[in-house]
Amino acid sequence: MDKKLRLLIADDSKLLRKKLRADLEALGCEVSEAENGKEAILLDLQDKPDGVILDIVMPEVGGIEALQVIREVNPEVPVVMLSSAGTPQKLMQTLKMGAIDFIQKPYTTEQIKKVVEQIRKRVVKNG
């Protein structure tokens, strides 16, 4: 059997984290949570997850700043941005910075399935 994909989700909404965790666990992922970008960076350094799902608008450190730091310290990890504040400029900025995808809230289970597949492919490839 495939090893479980370990994902880190960072969002300041507890409700969203709970729903996302349930969706990801249903897809066979192991999930850790952060409630802001600062926590996400710390957890990324500590746990080295297989993938990170980052909200853009968070207290303390926002998703774009968190993406920047995570990219510097862990350049291989696939990062997916998740936001309701998804302007095309922000979208382009995060993709230029190395995010692999961008999901608009409210997300669909289909979108989550798709990014999990993308992350899984990259993890298998970088093995």
Query: The tokens of 77 are what?
Result: 């990890």
Residue 127 domain flag: no
The CATH number covering residue 67 comes to 3.40.50.2300
Distance CA 61, CA 119 (A): 24
Q: Domain range holding 43? A: 5-122
Residue 116 domain flag: yes
Residue 50 domain flag: yes
Q: What is the pLDDT of residue 2?
A: 61
Residue 45 domain flag: yes
* Total residue length of the chain: 127
Q: How many domains is the chain built from? A: 1
pLDDT tier for residue 120 given thresholds of 50, 70 and 90: very high
User: Tens of pLDDT along 15-52?
Assistant: 999 999 999 999 999 999 999 999 999 999 999 999 99
DSSP single-letter state for residue 44: H
User: Tens of pLDDT along 69-93?
Assistant: 999 999 999 999 998 877 888 889 9
**How many CB atoms are located within 10 Å of the residue 94 CB?**
24
Residue 38 domain flag: yes
pLDDT at 13 over 50: yes
